[in-house]
Chain A
Amino acid sequence: MGATTMKKVANSDRQCAFQRMVDDHYEPLLSYAHFLLGHREQVEDVVHQAFILAFDRLADGQMFQGDPGKWLRGTVRNVVHDVWRQKRKLPQDVADLLQQVVLQADEAGDAMDRSAVGEALRRCLDRLAEDDRQLLGQRYETGRRITEIARRMKLNVATLRVRLFRVRQGLKSCIEAQFAGEVPT
């Protein structure tokens, strides 16, 4: 096989591997970056940056050991860390600590039974008061920022933060209680 042919075969393999990676991980990665950034701005840029780094890696002839999704999530965490530092003006040490927390959360998430947690979460959501459910809907389903929700609900931002925190902590406790075999309240 000539050098040109080998190069073409390598290019073709690389393109196939990259296309497969995009097919498998593009949407979950958008969601992950969206979660870490808190709103839609820069989500696409962050994810594209992670995929381009993955492409560079393939172009260098380095294949991915194990699940490329893990590598991509790690890269998104690193890129988000830069956004926290540069755009959100978080101090270096706070950004580092947050990144460490997110990594721990990811590792814990890998170890758990996601479908069981998902079912527990849905049961807990069904038990929420209508107002609280609507509040979560505004934050997540419509993707509004806290300040925007506060303005719409004619509430103080600090008050809304506390209310949202309590609803989310309530859901967390509800899920933990279900896994502990307790009857949630």
Chain B
Amino acid sequence: MTTDWRELLDCVLDGEELTPEEMTALREALSDAERRDRAARQVQSRCQLFEELSAPAVDDISISRDRLLAKVVLREKSLAVGPSQRPWRRLAMNRPQLWFAGATAVALTIVVLGLTALRNRYPQPTVEGDFQVVRDGQEVSADQRVERGEQIIAGQGEAELRLGGYCHLVMKPHTELVVNGQPGAEEVELRSGTLASQIVPGRGEFTCRTPLGIVRVLGTEFVTTVEDPRLAKGEEPMERTILVTVAVVSGIVAFDLAGQSGTLSAGASQTFSQKEEAQTKTGVVRSVDVAGKKIVVMVARELTFTVTENTKIHRRDDAKNLDDIKVGANVRVTYTHSGDNRVASEIAILAEEKEKSEKLEGAQTKEGEVKKVDVAGNKLVVMVGTELTFTVTEKTKIRQGSDVKKLADIKVGDRVKVSYNRTGDNRVATNIAIREAEKKD
């Protein structure tokens, strides 16, 4: 044991334990104002030495920061709960109030069930707040109704997305996602940013797809963050590390991220990271911009790739240039991300591109459920795995059995078989057969 209070002060700052005798010696010393001044100078000197020599307190500061930001999102959500929604307020109700609340709840349940039975319609995805909608690489007017396959980008403020009547998603500023999924199995592809998800139990599934994998829930509340490190101007697009943080507010979520799978319970948060590897996409060339060094390829949707002087373009073993690539050609593009850009490292021009592009451009038939009828705009939206919009012209033949019908005769919920010609992204209906009228109870 030492009685030198200066040494004892160092011990405390080194995180060491003191014996009761040492504690007493330190107390006596620091109770004296003059020695406290000396102690302050000692602490100041040790702090300077620490700052000069010490290693970082955490292994990865960016991951540590990410954990903080996830906690703050949770905090923000808990602060957003108003006093009347707090559980102790509910418990504070007296018996008659509880009885009344119970009766109201039962009545509401009956009304809601009744409405559900009457309507039997699945809610269309909607978005509100500060956002823009991107369809096929083009910004479209920010309508509250969202079609599956569309990309939503939150602006400076937040955007709120509602899916299937049971998924309430809050997109933090600058968050980017794509609405996918189908009725009862809602899914979003979170590309970057932070998404707070509140899922009502027992109404359907919800999957949040991230660059590292998926988070799936049946009923819970959680926050997912995808950190997308942007490159500085002039920086070479090398491999990047993607960070995904999942923080659970309530319930349990199942994750399959970055090669790890498991569950996270309420209050838990975990960050997953993985270096992004080059990706490959195959599709039909929609446009080639030689001057702008861009190529647009139709994969499930149109993707724009940036071509650099390092991009290797070839057809089999023959080296090619960008201007050798023709619209309609079938290509396989290997690329990495650089911020929002997809930078092509290799473009392989594949054989038989003509036949494939003709198939995409030719006559096709699809069958599905009508989601929207726009008589004024001559459009028909049909769910066929994904929602497709068909243009109806005066040449379009619409029939139900042997009866000739008009576009206005088609109702949401009808099952239709549409024959159409596709030109680019435009689907022009040639024949529409109404299979089944909407059922009304």
Residues of chain A touching chain B, judged by Cβ–Cβ distance below 8 Å, are 8-9, 11-12, 15, 18, 22, 26-27, 30-41, 43-44, 47-48, 51-52, 55-56, 59, 84, 88, 90-91, 93-94, 97-98, 100-102, 104-106, 108-109, 112, 114, 117-118, 121-122, 125, 136-137, 139-143, 145-147, 158, 161-162, 164-165, 168-169, 171-172, 175
A102 vs B61: C-alpha distance in the bound complex, in angstroms? 25
CB distance from A13 to the nearest CB of B (A): 10
A26 near B37 with CB under 8 A, answer: no
- Top 9 closest pairs, chain A to chain B, by CB: A38-B15, A104-B40, A140-B53, A34-B57, A105-B43, A97-B30, A105-B44, A8-B157, A172-B45
Please tell me if B106 contacts chain A, counting CB pairs below 8 Å.
no
A164-B15 in contact (CB<8A): no
The reply on B275 being an interface residue by CB < 8 A is no
Q: Is B67 an interface residue (CB 8 A)?
A: yes
Q: Is residue B7 contacting chain A, with contact meaning CB distance below 8 A?
A: yes
16 A-B residue pairs with Cβ-Cβ distance under 8 Å, sorted by A, are: A11-B157, A31-B51, A34-B50, A34-B57, A43-B57, A52-B71, A91-B23, A101-B9, A104-B40, A108-B40, A108-B44, A109-B48, A121-B49, A161-B10, A165-B4, A165-B7
- Name B residues whose Cβ lies closer than 8 Å to a Cβ of A: 1-2, 4, 6-7, 9-17, 23, 26-27, 30-31, 36-37, 39-58, 61, 64-65, 67-69, 71-72, 75-76, 79, 129-130, 156-158, 172-173
| Contact assessment for A18 and B45 in the assembled complex, using a CB-CB cutoff below 8 Å | no
Given that A26-B65, A172-B42 are contacting pairs, would A9 and B157 also be in contact in the complex, using a CB cutoff of 8 Å?
yes
Known A12-B156, A164-B10, A165-B7: A22·B68 in contact at CB below 8 Å: yes
Separation in Å of the B49 CB from the closest CB of chain A?
A: 6
Q: Is the CB of A26 within 8 A of B44?
A: no
Extra pairs beyond A27-B56, A101-B30, A175-B48 (4, CB < 8 Å) = A34-B54, A100-B30, A105-B47, A140-B49
Contacts of B7 in A (CB 8 A): 161-162, 165
Assess whether B41 is in contact with A108, with CB atoms less than 8 Å apart: yes
Task: Write the nearest CB–CB distance from B334 to chain A, whole angstroms.
Answer: 35
With A30-B57, A93-B27, A140-B55: A161-B69 Cβ-Cβ less than 8 Å: no
Contact yes or no, A15 B12, CB < 8 A: no
- Whether the pair B56, A30 counts as a contact (CB closer than 8 A) is yes
Give the contacting residue for B2; candidates A8, A140, A162; CB below 8 A: A162
Main secondary structure of the interface of B (DSSP, over half): helix
Closest B residue to A49 using CB positions: B71
Among A59, A88, A142, A165, chain B packs the most CB atoms within 10 A around the CB of A165
Best-buried of B4, B6, B14, B26 by chain A (most CB within 10 Å): B14
Q: How far is the CA of A20 from the CA of B282 in the complex (A)?
A: 42
Task: Tell me which residues across on chain A come within 8 A of B47, comparing CB atoms.
Answer: 32, 35, 105, 109
Partner of B72, one of A18, A43, A158, A161: A18
The residue of chain B having its C-beta at the shortest distance from the C-beta of A33 within the complex is B57
Nearest A residue to B30, CB-CB = A97
In the complex the two chains form, is A56's CB within 8 Å of B79's CB? Answer: yes
* Cα-based distance from A122 to B55 in the complex (angstroms): 16
- Alpha-carbon distance between A16 and B157 when the two chains are bound, in angstroms: 10
A141 B16 Cβ-Cβ under 8 A = no
Known A15-B173, A105-B41, A109-B47; judge A121-B68 contact (CB<8 A).
no
